């Protein structure tokens, strides 16, 4: 896979590319949900997982996760784990822009205060994972399509693999 500027890749005919999603937990096991800024080109104002991003050329995914957490949330992380390493999705925004990603999903634990960047995050909230699952099931249109699919994929795993979606005991 090559590399290109994000603005030239996310179009009405977006090529398959590498991204990642991260679900950030606090030490109490609560999940950080973020609401995408209204200025975002795609899915403005929807609630989503803690943060997403794209690795730079030759950048390890775990380092990209750390970098993006700092850039978007002002956050430092520990215990970064790949929980859905082969997740892939394609979704079309109401504007017609396509997301088409190989998108490994990570979980991590927050080790600092949050300082979200307004151009990325308009609101944020800590929530119980089961409450989030119920909200997504009841109103999937209020959440990003990748988050809806990722929660479904994790639920399909069940058992011990699903326990990767919580803060350590």
Query: Catalytic residues, which ones?
Result: 52, 101
Residue 145, token pair as written in the block: 């399509």
86 labelled binding-site residue = no
Q: Per the annotation, does 99 bind a ligand?
A: yes
| Sequence-distant (≥ 6) Cβ neighbours of residue 157 within 8 angstroms | none
101 marked as binding residue? yes
Closest alpha carbon to 132 in 49, 46, 36: 49
Least Cα distance to 68 among 30, 22, 36 occurs for: 22
Question: Is residue 47 within 8 Å of 132, Cβ to Cβ?
Answer: no
Q: Is 113 annotated as a binding residue?
A: no
Q: Is 105 helix (H, G, I), strand (E, B) or coil?
A: strand
- Give dist(CA 20, CA 61) in Å, integer: 8
Q: Is residue 120 marked as binding? A: no
Task: Flag whether 54 is marked binding.
Answer: yes
Task: List binding-site positions for Mg(2+).
Answer: 72
Annotated binding site for Mn(2+): 10, 17, 54, 99, 101
Q: Residues at the annotated binding site?
A: 10, 17, 54, 72, 99, 101
């Amino acid at each position: 896979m090559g590399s290109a500027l994000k603005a030239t890749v996310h179009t009405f005919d977006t090529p398959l590319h590498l991204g990642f999603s991260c679900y950030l937990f606090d030490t109490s096991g609560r999940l950080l949900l973020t609401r995408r800024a209204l200025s975002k080109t795609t899915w403005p104002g929807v609630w989503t997982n803690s943060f997403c991003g794209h690795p730079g050329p030759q950048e390890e995914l775990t380092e990209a996760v750390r970098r993006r957490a700092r850039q978007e949330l002002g956050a430092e992380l520990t215990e970064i784990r790949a929980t859905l390493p082969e997740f892939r999705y394609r979704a079309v925004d109401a504007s017609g822009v396509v997301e088409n990603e190989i998108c490994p999903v990570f979980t991590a634990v927050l080790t600092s205060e949050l300082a979200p960047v307004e151009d990325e995050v308009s609101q944020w909230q800590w929530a119980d994972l089961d409450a989030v699952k119920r909200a997504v099931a009841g109103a999937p249109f209020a959440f990003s399509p990748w988050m809806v699919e990722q929660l479904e994929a994790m639920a399909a795993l069940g058992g011990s693999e699903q326990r990767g979606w919580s803060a350590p005991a």
